[in-house]
Chains A and B, each alone.
Chain A
């Protein structure tokens, strides 16, 4: 009992501090995002601003308001950025780790070289890559070293978009993707023989997909079509981000590879597994937990990205916009504090979607142990 009291007392200061400075302010931010702070310029920066409750009006404006088309493009940008950045970093990191794991000459040297970019701040990386990606220089003139014509891709300055879709189709696509994920979960549950989980996954998947193919087609977010797509200007940003973070995933994977017991590999060899089969069926499955951790780390970096884009393209360039940048513009330049707070809450939710399942599964594992 006394132990418990001491434990509680020792924890109390940090509990109070976290309660106020983390959850208290998140709560305040939620309240601001439901208010009209910034709508009335006389109240925006008054000494004691009077806020009025407006419900979810700010969120509605962000997703369906006429002037917030830039927010919607920034969300699309963020999704594509996150996907390609995570894919690129994991792929390249794994490749480098496997190459280094085979013990080439100068392994220690290359390991350090590949890991170095991570030591830089995103601002430094962004500035260097902005110079490298100038249309008339840097990367584009590389081929001339080998007597080839220079590249003509304008990198950050392009306005071209690919994979363009109408914003009105968004609920449809979202339902479709989530439905597919649930189907996959159901399939896994089926293989694991967990009847209850299979039932619920399949049920919700079929409801979602049914909705997507019937009523979902008639949902209209906007009264007019609004095209959004993957801005090619982001390619340069993704390149820089992957350059910076793939060394980190390499280090994670390398640690994972070194942690695989030799017995397992030898057993595979004895069973007559080819090199590829060893990777496919022994090594990669054993690396799965590392992939998950790396994805969580990279995922939340990607969702919060601000400084890299700030340094590479500035704040005012919509093709490389992400919600964090738009939030800064609205709140600190346009005095639209409530709308800025709403974007902040949306970003928090996005990160939570990535992080909370991971934390929950980790906690469950620890309890099991």
Chain B
């Protein structure tokens, strides 16, 4: 009798709770970004109260430390149930080619995500006929930040092209602004480079660079470094010692006029510095890139051999849902990857980015893992160092091409 009761109890428990067990979520979201992840986890717990969620966070901006820990775990045969990864080649070039991920195409079809996400994004997530991760948010890389009041004071307008930018830079230098462009440590310099490259090559040229159709040593690509060198002349000389926040601070304090940074800068200025988007600080696409949305995205994938596969699949469903994305993104300071999210939940910057996300041409970021594999990306820092040391566009282009050949870019 008791056995029967137990069996019925278990059966009832299973059908009401549907899921039990554990779910380990591996990410690098801590500190400022922690609350956004927690909101998503709370939502998950409401839906699946029987599941114990393990929030395995490894701190360090852009996942610098988390990625190393993840590699050790994966090599040791102990994958987390799902992990955060930059959507695109950072996932594909490292984990998909090594046959460590499950194809999620079926999930995308079942949830109707092929229509919910823009096609440009789906293309960046796809490789060899599969779709490999679920994007939770979208950040924009090619944004130029400035203080409208300061620009008015100096009598300049935000430049629309790099030629205009260089002219504006000279004007500002004459007015006694030593470094009109605020710049930070190495990766922010690479970040600036990708905006210059996108403007110089155009969206198609940029895509061709990563598919291997356009060589780095092509005169058009070498020209990127030439422009980049001129732009660097407008920047502060102590860049290497500044974090991206400190570079933004220079603009806020009026020591510099412009900063090119991803749109997490909007979150920093509105949340941390309490500035009002649109009035205290303003933004424009980085020079020469209007109509193009250079995106990067955090996404979650499903590694082969995940111990709690069904729980992980439920997590992915939540991550891709409208409900999940609108809970996560307003807190994170990013926008939803979906096209149907609710603008009322976002601030002025978010609303403007959402409009661009729906209408602009979408391309992927290099520095943030969308278009090139890690083997290229990590050595691109060396290319940057070669250029900064030698100031020689051809040398930098040669080095970039040598690395591209070595890692088999576009193959």
Which residues of chain B in 346-390 are interfacial with respect to chain A, using CB atoms and an 8 Å cutoff?
A: 373-375, 377-379, 381-382, 385-386, 388-389
Tell me how far the C-beta of B249 lies from the nearest C-beta in chain A, rounded to whole angstroms: 12
The residue that A44 contacts in the complex, of B94, B240, B304, B305, with Cβ under 8 A, is: B94
Q: In whole Å, how far is B402's beta carbon from the nearest beta carbon of chain A?
A: 5
Q: Which residues of B contact A335 (CB under 8 A)?
A: 71, 94, 374-375
In the bound complex, residues from chain A placing their C-beta under 8 Å from that of B99 are 42, 46-47
Given contacts A41-B407, A70-B385, A314-B185, contact A154 B237 (CB under 8 A): yes
| Contact code string B299-326 (vs A, CB < 8 Å = 1, else 0) | 0000011000000000000000000000
Q: Is A334 an interface residue (CB 8 A)?
A: yes
Interface string of A146-157 (1 = CB under 8 A from B): 000000001111
Residues of A within 8 Å of B305, CB to CB, are 47
B238 within 8 A of A: yes
Q: Is the CB of B74 within 8 A of A135?
A: no
The reply on B22 being an interface residue by CB < 8 A is no
Q: Are B402 and A66 in contact (CB under 8 A)?
A: yes
| B95 near A70: Cβ-Cβ < 8 Å | no
When the two chains form their complex, are residues A329 and B385 in contact, meaning their CB atoms are under 8 A apart?
no
State whether A334 touches B378 (Cβ < 8 A): yes
Q: How many A residues face the partner with a CB closer than 8 A?
A: 36
The answer to whether A329 touches B378 (Cβ under 8 A) is yes
Residues of A within 8 A of B185 (CB): 314, 316-317
Interface string of A27-48 (1 = CB under 8 A from B): 0000000000010011111110
- B406 CB–A CB distance under 8 Å: yes
Minimum C-beta distance from B337 to chain A (A): 26
B93 to nearest A CB, angstroms?
6
CB-defined contacts of B388 to chain A, threshold 8 Å: 159, 318
Of B239, B241, B373, B379, most A-chain CB atoms within 10 Å: B241
Q: In the bound complex, how far is the Cα of B377 from the Cα of A154, in angstroms?
A: 28
Please give me the residue from chain B that is nearest to A336 by CB atom.
B375
The complex places the Cα of A316 from the Cα of B385 at a distance, in Å, of 9
Within 8 A of B (CB), among A330-359: 330, 332-336
A67: which of B67, B74, B379 is its contact (CB, 8 Å)?
A: B379
Is B408 an interface position by the 8 A CB rule? yes
Whole-angstrom distance between the alpha carbons of A73 and B187 in the complex?
Answer: 20
How far does the alpha carbon of A317 sit from the alpha carbon of B222 in the complex, in Å? 23
Does residue A69 face the partner (Cβ distance < 8 Å to B)?
A: yes
B77 CB contacts on chain A under 8 angstroms:
47
Q: Is B150 an interface residue (CB 8 A)?
A: no
Interface of B is mostly: helix
Contact of A45 among B71, B238, B239 (CB under 8 A): B71
B234 interface hit (Cβ, 8 Å): no
Chain B residue contacts of A44, Cβ below 8 A = 94, 98, 375
Cα distance, A171 to B220, chains bound together (Å): 39
- Contact indicator A334/B186 (Cβ below 8 Å): no
A70 to B390, CA, bound (A): 13
Does B241 lie within 8 Å of A135, measured CB to CB?
A: yes
User: Which of A43, A45, A156, A313 gathers the greatest number of chain B CB atoms within 10 Å?
Assistant: A45
Contact of A313 among B75, B187, B237, B240 (CB under 8 A): B240
- Closest Cβ of chain B to A160, distance in Å, is 10
B residues in contact with A155, CB < 8 Å: 241
Q: Is B198 an interface residue (CB 8 A)?
A: no
Q: How far is the CB of B385 from chain A (nearest CB, A)?
A: 4
State A136–B249 Cα separation when bound (angstroms).
Answer: 14
Is the pair B381, A316 in contact by a Cβ cutoff of 8 Å?
Answer: yes
Question: Is B203 engaged at the interface, CB distance under 8 Å to the other chain?
Answer: no
Chain A residues, CB < 8 A from B94 = 41, 44-45, 335
Interface residues of B (CB under 8 A from A): 64, 67-68, 71, 74-75, 77, 93-95, 97-100, 185-187, 237-241, 304-305, 373-375, 377-379, 381-382, 385-386, 388-389, 398-399, 402-403, 406-408
Which residues of chain A have a CB within 8 Å of any CB of chain B?
A: 38, 41-47, 66-67, 69-70, 130, 134-136, 154-157, 159, 313-319, 328-330, 332-336
Report, nearest first, the 9 A-B pairs whose CB atoms are least far apart.
A318-B385, A316-B186, A334-B378, A333-B378, A332-B68, A45-B98, A157-B240, A157-B241, A46-B98
